[in-house]
Amino acid sequence: MSTYIKKCPECGGINLVLNKEKGEIICKDCGLVIEEKMIDFGQEWQEFDHEQAEKRRRTGAPMTYTKYDRGLGTDVGQTSDLYQLKSKGRNKFFRLRKWQYRISTAIERNLKLALAELKRVASYLKLPKSVEEESARIYTMAVQRGLVRGRSMESVVAGALYAACRRHEVPRTLEELSEASGIDKKEVGRTYRFVTRELGIRILPSNPVDYIARFASALNLNANTQSKAVEILEQAQKAELTSGRGPTGIAAASLYVAALMNNEKRTQREVADIAGVTEVTIRNRYKELLKELNIEIKVKRKDTKE
DNA sequence: AAGACGAAAGTGGTTGA
DNA sequence: TCAACAACTTTCGTCTT
């Protein structure tokens, strides 16, 4: 895959829009998702060669949660302040320093390992930098609150990543997280719920629309079908078909219907695999969609035989 | 033979007493 | 803490193309 695309291969338009949050390039004219999940825009500028890179880099190391001490470690002071204290204060001082040392080394050791793991998983999933940062922040808070105790470090990392994805509306399913991190799906879900509850992180229920673009391009569906699917989805939301249902199932069903209507048939199995749900779920949603929205499928029948 | 459909039983999570 | 419950999955048999 070439690195820089200037024209939309579908309609030839040049109005390509970059959605940094989701890591997608979208053609503004026809809505085609040209690239997704393959970019990591850590900076707002790009380096085309080394010289430019040197020129454009204008800060030192950023303060970042992906470094275990945020790049800004502090210690309880060393000897210089010390001679002003009397013996009592001095003892207290030593005790504090000892504790600070113990606690911080324990936490930092953990963080070091965890953030390495986090980076690995994030890059495996091609997650944008912003999400990686967010999840590192969540994980750090979790460690400081002692939430990792009794749980595996990896599962908390996965949970934090999932939470960060949700907050940034970068849709990744639990399955994907589970596969990338090697943690059981249930476990990821469990720690995700636990961590967000304990940290009081509010997460909006994920919106099925967020999944459409990704599923559609994974299925090689054209932009027409994709916008049709979004349309269907919106109607479905109005008809209150979406609450309480799994968002991926609804997104998948909408896509399936849209594909049928546009003569771009995909089998239920294909759609189901991509979306990570079963055919049965697609069927159920699909039935509801047809019924509630009075959509009629009059496609197929290769030629008009009337 | 493959895909679509539906019924029945099982699973894990949420909720309300 | 437990039971009821909804959503989803798995499995399997039947029908259609």
Residue A265 has what pLDDT?
85
**Is the CB of A283 less than 7 A from some atom of nucleic acid strand B?**
yes
Bases along strand C below 7 A from a protein CB: 6-11
Domains of chain A as residue ranges with CATH:
1-60 (2.20.25.10), 61-102 (no CATH), 106-199 (1.10.472.10), 209-292 (1.10.472.10)
What is the SS3 string spanning A76-141?
Answer: CCCHHHHHHCCHHHHHHHHHHHHHHHHHHHHHHHHHHHHHHHHHHHHHHCCCCHHHHHHHHHHHHH
Lowest model confidence (mean pLDDT) among A114-118, A157-161, A177-181, A298-302: A298-302
Measure A237 CA to C6 C1' (Å).
19
Say if residues A188 and A155 touch (Cβ distance below 8 Å).
yes
Measure A247 CA to C7 C1' (Å).
12
**Amino acid code (one letter) for A164:** A
Of the candidates A209, A207, A306, the residue with the CA atom closest to the CA atom of residue A258: A209
Query: What is the spatial distance between Cα A105 and Cα A9, in angstroms, rounded to a whole number?
Result: 53
Lowest model confidence (mean pLDDT) among A48-62, A105-119, A143-157: A48-62
Measure A50 CA to B11 C1' (Å).
55
Q: Mark residues 120-179 of chain A whose C-beta is closer than 7 A to nucleic acid strand B.
A: none
Residue A237 has what pLDDT?
82
- Measured CA to C1', the nucleotide nearest A301 is C17
More confidently predicted of A37 and A275 = A275
Measure A284 CA to B7 C1' (Å).
13
pLDDT tens column, A117-158: 999 999 988 889 999 999 999 898 888 888 887 788 888 899
Query: What is the spatial distance between Cα A183 and Cα A189, in angstroms, rounded to a whole number?
Result: 10
Measure A183 CA to C12 C1' (Å).
31
pTM flag (> 0.75):
no
Query: What is the spatial distance between Cα A149 and Cα A57, in angstroms, rounded to a whole number?
Result: 40
Read off the pLDDT band of A90 (50, 70, 90): low
Residue A133: Cβ within 10 Å count: 18
Say if residues A154 and A110 touch (Cβ distance below 8 Å).
no
What residue is closest to C11 (Cα–C1')? A280
Read off the pLDDT band of A23 (50, 70, 90): low
One-character DSSP codes across A243-306? TTS-HHHHHHHHHHHHHHHTT----HHHHHHHHTS-HHHHHHHHHHHHHHHT------SSS---
Residue A261 has what pLDDT?
87
Residue A149 has what pLDDT?
79
Query: Over chain A, what is the mean pLDDT?
Result: 74
